[in-house]
Structure 1
Amino acid sequence: MEGHTRVKLLTYADRDMMAIDLAQKLAGELTATLMHEERALLVVPGGTTPGPIFDALCAADLDWNRVDVLLSDERWVPADHPRSNTRLVRERLLVGRAAAARMLPLYASADTPELALAQLEQVIRPYLPISVALLGMGDDMHTASLFPDGDNLTAALAPDAPLLVTMRSPSQPEPRISLTARVLREALSLHIVITGAEKRAALGRAKDLPPEQAPIAALLDDAMIHWVD
């Protein structure tokens, strides 16, 4: 899977424009899905980058009560913790019109993610495949919680990967749980949003590296990349 040379890249004049345009695109794709499916599954990332996109998307006029929302990954902290991605989504996306959507859990009250893995997979499996996925990327070329130094990266990249993997990384303060590359690639529509010159440069490196070094490379053939400086 080395040697990616074709990256589908959209660039934007400013961050406000990107947030509005990308929110409209996601809403349009969800609406199109709901025209021929009973429900649509929207996968979203945590972190700081998607906040403005969530702010625009939550006001979209679509049938939110038929939309299920799932995180791409989660830190293993309670849902009210400041570092919880679940908390971010509840505060920034599941408000306004989008409050009618249903959030699927990626955290459970267990000491470690391994103890909840089977339970969470059982909940998520009936809603797959993903209708629309929005992902981010770190400077280290990780996406979701698929880190280059993650202990379960090989399993997460395997063609026959499970739905979820636990992930521990020396660069991260807490354990994680993440959708695998296989599940993310199977999304009917896949978007990756990046901001700043450093991430643009990282994306340029990633397309010529194997996913074991640059996990985002596992998704580049299937994704539309949205970038603003």
Structure 2
Amino acid sequence: MAFKMHEFSDLESCNKALVEAVTLSIEQILSVKKYINLAFSGGKSPVLFLEMLSKKKCTWDKCNVSLVDERVVELDHEDSNAKLIKMHFLKNLAQKAHFKPFFEDYKLSLEDLVENANKFYNQPDIAILGMGIDGHTASLFPEADEIDFALTTQKNIILITPKNAPHKRLSMSLSALEKCNKLFLSIATKEKELVFNEATKGLNPKFPISYILHSEKVMCDIYFSK
């Protein structure tokens, strides 16, 4: 297994521990590097974590922040992960961090969006992931037509078209995720625990998260709240 489990009785204590672990990893990497690259996931699940992280003392001015994935929408759209990061993280002590979204103009062609995102890509040292009840992580959705490509390509940013979720997405590929120095995965609820347990049984394209849990290239710390 390529992961270490950390279990907590409630969401707040889980997120507090995750904040401590992430900031400790940031400072450890900054002891040997001038700057660090971080990638955050979007959606509703990480809001509490992001709020807590924004208040944590850290060398934020040395942190370049990007996204694990993004919906192809305007940056001020309610579903934009860039908007989520700006609202819930880039404030308090963390306002000194440097944030770069995948794109500024969502109206560009999909080909240009992907090409530009790869052109200006900076490999994250640390990425904080989530997981859906379908076993997806980042925007690596199991039912997407592009999932096989996303799991095998050496490109860093790929296009994903979910069949059971809104909006086309840009997402880090499996290869890009495995090139991180450190991965964190935050999971909550019994429902997601059942999916997670299935994914621990072996590589399974029905559960893309399984490719992280069984990776031979990167270790993932799981923070699970019951």
TM-score (norm 1): 0.92
- Which one-letter code corresponds to 1:18 in the other structure? C
| Corresponding residue pairs, total | 221
8 Å CA contact 1:155–1:161 kept in 2: the answer is no
- 1:24, CA displacement in angstroms? 1.1
8 Å CA contact 1:132–1:190 kept in 2: the answer is yes
8 Å CA contact 1:43–1:69 kept in 2: the answer is yes
Counterpart Cα distance in 2 of 1:110 and 1:85: 13
Q: Secondary structure at the match of 1:215?
A: coil
- 1:49, CA displacement in angstroms? 1.4
Q: How does 1:61-72 map to 2 (within 5 A)?
A: 61-72=57-68
Question: Does residue 174 of structure 1 match 2:167?
Answer: yes
Which of 120, 137, 141 is the aligned partner of 1:143? Answer: 137
Deviations 1:125-180 (A, max 9, x none): xx32x22111000000000000001121111111x420111000211221001000
Which of 10, 14, 19 is the aligned partner of 1:18? Answer: 14
1:118 aligned partner: 115
- 1:20, CA displacement in angstroms? 1.1
Which of 36, 40, 57 is the aligned partner of 2:36? Answer: 40
| Mean CA deviation greater in 207-216 or 97-106 | 207-216
Question: Does residue 212 of structure 1 match 2:205?
Answer: yes
1:193 aligned partner: 186
8 Å CA contact 1:113–1:175 kept in 2: the answer is no
8 Å CA contact 2:2–2:220 kept in 1: the answer is no
Q: Secondary structure at the match of 2:128?
A: strand
**Unaligned runs of at least 5 residues, structure 1:** none
Question: Does residue 50 of structure 1 match 2:27?
Answer: no
1:85 aligned partner: 81
- Which one-letter code corresponds to 1:200 in the other structure? E
2:156 aligned partner: 163
Distance 1:180 1:6, change over 3 A: closer
- Which one-letter code corresponds to 1:61 in the other structure? K
Percent of aligned pairs sharing the same letter: 25
Question: Does residue 184 of structure 1 match 2:154?
Answer: no
Counterpart Cα distance in 1 of 2:110 and 2:42: 17
TM-score (norm 2): 0.93
Counterpart Cα distance in 2 of 1:211 and 1:145: 16
- 1:14, CA displacement in angstroms? 1.0
Structure 1 moving runs of 4+ over 4 Å: none
- Which one-letter code corresponds to 1:101 in the other structure? A
1:228 aligned partner: 225
1:133 aligned partner: 127
1:95 aligned partner: 91
